[in-house]
Amino acid sequence: MRIKIINPNTTQSMTDKIGACARAVARPGTEIVAVSPAMGPASIESHYDEALAVPGLLQEIAAGERDGIDGYVIACFGDPGLLAARELAAGPVLGIAEAAMHLASMLGSSFSVVTTLGRTIGQARHLAEAYGMARFCANVRACELPVLELEDPRSGARERIVAECRRALDEDGSDVIVLGCAGMADLCEHVADVLGVPVIDGVAAATQLVESMVNLRLRTSKRGELARPLPKAYSGALQGFAIRG
């Protein structure tokens, strides 16, 4: 099977890291295709960045459909464009926040999310609410690390993340950690080893869930809200996004 992991920002080093993390957990027969969109922000740290990452993401979904991709992962913790992507895709599409939160709810009594900048805490809470996971989400905490500093080995990111995770366990009463950024995927094993509790990276989690769905022949329901978009005219710079009848 072929799973496409879309890093919705345009930073290739992060895409490479995400792809490697997905491949490390994928089943033998699974081909992981990891891409960045052709347009959009270098990192996603606001609703604005998120919204503008979506057109490039949807292009990659459309391309994936032409290529016969079996399922998709949206590798940004804000899960941008999730429902739009599901309308476009025949197979399953998962966000990494979604996948991580669902797994976390089955491994302990509650989880804390540890994310990058404080300004993104709101979006993590909105998602927990929308997915029915708010009752399991003890807290969302920020390290105040910009996303791209995660790419810099001298940033001290690893230590700051571990320290914030410890505070989460001590102060929030939670017993599971969810890493709140795709750029933390490569730190998951280290953090888990140090903390001794389940630590969930959404990239790995979503990759596994999409593989499972494809294996079970489960595809996005096309009966209602997520039916394929209707054909219609698009204009201007987005003309190419028009759905043909």
Closer residue to its own copies, CB minimum distance, 167 or 222: 222
From 134, 144, 156, 190, residue interacting with its own copies (rule: CB under 8 A): 134
* Nearest distance in Å: CB 68, its own copies: 19
| 130 in contact with its own copies (CB under 8 A) | yes
CA pair distance 228, 48, nearest whole angstrom: 25
Closer residue to its own copies, CB minimum distance, 34 or 111: 111
Burial class (CB in 10 A: 0-12, 13-18, 19+), 33: middle
Query: Of 123, 21, 143, 27, which Cα lies nearest the Cα of 82?
Result: 123
Q: Residues 151 to 210: which contact its own copies by CB under 8 A?
A: 169, 173-176, 189, 192, 196-198, 200, 204-205, 208-209
Beta pairing partners, 6: 35, 74
Secondary structure class of 169 (helix, strand, coil) = helix
Token look-up 């699974």 returns 30
Which stretch in 156-164, 178-186, 211-219 sits in contact with its own copies by CB under 8 A?
211-219
CA pair distance 11, 53, nearest whole angstrom: 12
| 90 in contact with its own copies (CB under 8 A) | no
| 23 in contact with its own copies (CB under 8 A) | no
Secondary structure class of 113 (helix, strand, coil) = strand
| 17 in contact with its own copies (CB under 8 A) | no
| 219 in contact with its own copies (CB under 8 A) | yes
Q: Residues 36 to 75: which contact its own copies by CB under 8 A?
A: 37-43, 45-52, 54-56, 58
Q: Would you give the DSSP letter of residue 112?
A: E
